[in-house]
Each structure stands twice: as C-alpha cells, then as structure tokens.
Amino acid sequence: MTTKRIIISGATSGIGYEIAKLYIADGHKVGIMGRRIELLDNLKSLSPGNVYIQQLDINSDDATSRFQSLIDKMGGMDLYFHVSGIGYQNVSLDYNKELNTVETNCKGFTRMITYAFNYFSDKGCGHIACISSIAGTKGLGVSPSYSATKRYQNHYIQCLAQLNTIRKNKIHFTDIRPGFVATNLLNNDHHYPMLMNKEYVAKIAYKAVARKRRVKIIDWRYILLVAGWRLIPNCIWERLRIKN
C-alpha cells in the first residue's frame, strides 16, 4: 500500500468521522478539519503520529489560509475529501435555514473545492472527492435549499472535471451520493425510508474513492430509486406529495 496524504473536511462527526477512521486504520497520513477542536483531538488520539488537525469553519474568510496551513504541516496533499454540509426539512420555508444551507453547501463548498482544485492543478495531479446526495436528482419540496445545493455540487464537480480536461491535468473526481443516512443531519422527528448507517456508507465511499469511481450512488436500492425519479416528467413530479 502506498501511503497517501489525505485531508478531510467535516471530520468531527457522522460520515466524515467514519471515513477518517478508515484512512487512519490503513496507515495513511490524515489531516482532519472541523469546527470542534475537542472532537478533532479525539481522532488524533487514534494515531498521534499520522493524524494532523486544523480547526476550521468552511464559511469563514480565513478557511483557505487554514487549509493551506494544514497542507504545509503534512508536507503536501494527495486527496481532498469534502464531507462538510448541512441540511433541513423546511416545509415552513424558514428564511434563515434556507440561507444557512446555501452558505455552507454552496459558498463554503466552492471555497474549499476550488482551493483544492487549484492546488492540484499547480501540482499536476490529485484527487477530489465529496459527499453530495441523491437529493440533487430532483427538487424536493420538503427540503428546497438542501436538494438545490446538492444539485449545485453535482454540477460543480462535473464542471471542474471538464476544466481538468481542458487544462490537461490528471485530477480525479469522485462524487458520492448517498440516500438517507443515520447522522445528526437528520431530524429524528421524521421517518426516513431505507435508512443506512454511517459506518456502512463510509466503507462504500472509501472503496469508491480507492477505485477512482467518478459517481457512486449508495446503495443499490437508491440506484433504482434515482433511476425511477429521472423517468418522471417534471409536470408530474411537481404534483407529487413527497414528504417524510
């Protein structure tokens, strides 16, 4: 196994935490970023010599300078894994929830992904992976900004993949699209069908990145669901009462 330098954002909880543990267990040099320093310290304790931490909020103007500081500590970066994100069911269309989601899932996402892309572009190679969602497939009325921002992420990665071709670089991209995952992101007051645990999703995501998959929907049930969604004309979709 070739040891790689991997940096993960959103590693303090949920899927990001589980993915970080997998890379640490396999002996890679892992950089973890998140807002809660005590949770970053917990991960570092698993392998103090191979884990580097950086407190960082992707919505802050200093996020990229902190990102670069972590890259410098590690002596470089081979893979950037973007897991940071938020989302709500927001049938009442609370204004602040919508804007907060856009701020994190669009602006924060763009800030970090763009910085990683430019770093790898200067280097000539690298790998960018992100956790998006099947919610980007169709607009979901119960989660307007969440599904819209996930669509944005899907397209943004596709745009960068094409730009990579234009620049003749060797950057790989992996867009991982899970369905419902049992993390703090979900509101437990609602029922979620086909709920997956975060450990399971992390393992599949880990394998997808190792195999350099371009897009990976998790799992087969959601592959069928997404295929069905895509066949539904918008004039019918917008009349459906989809809710949890």
pLDDT for res 180 = 78
Q: How far is CA 54 from CA 4, 106, 135, in A?
A: 18, 22, 30
Give yes or no for residue 145 having a pLDDT over 90: yes
Q: Which amino acid is at 59?
A: N
pLDDT for res 191 = 58
Across the chain, what does the average pLDDT equal? 91
What is the rounded distance in angstroms from the CA atom of residue 129 to the CA atom of residue 117?
Answer: 11
> DSSP assignment of 2-32, as one string?
---EEEEESTTSHHHHHHHHHHHHTT-EEEE
Domain boundaries, the chain: 5-237
pLDDT for res 120 = 98
Provide the H-helix boundaries in the chain.
14-25, 37-44, 63-74, 95-102, 109-123, 144-167, 198-210, 220-231, 234-237
Give yes or no for residue 244 having a pLDDT over 80: no
Contact by Cβ (8 Å): 87, 13: no
Q: pLDDT-derived band of residue 195, with 50, 70 and 90 as boundaries?
A: confident
Give every CB contact of residue 76 below 8 A, 6+ residues apart in sequence: 5, 123
Give yes or no for residue 187 having a pLDDT over 90: no
pLDDT for res 189 = 53
Q: Stretch 142-166: mean pLDDT, rounded?
A: 96
In this prediction the pTM is 0.92
pLDDT for res 73 = 96
Fold of 5-237: Rossmann fold (3.40.50)
pLDDT digits (tens, 9 = 90+) for 38-84: 999 988 998 989 999 999 999 999 999 999 999 999 999 999 999 99
pLDDT for res 22 = 96
pLDDT for res 1 = 57
Q: Stretch 115-135: mean pLDDT, rounded?
A: 96
Question: What is the separation, in whole angstroms, between the first and last Cα of the chain?
Answer: 43
pLDDT for res 113 = 98
pLDDT for res 168 = 93
Give yes or no for residue 190 having a pLDDT over 90: no
Q: Stretch 201-230: mean pLDDT, rounded?
A: 93
- Decide which of 2 and 95 is more confident: 95
pLDDT for res 64 = 97
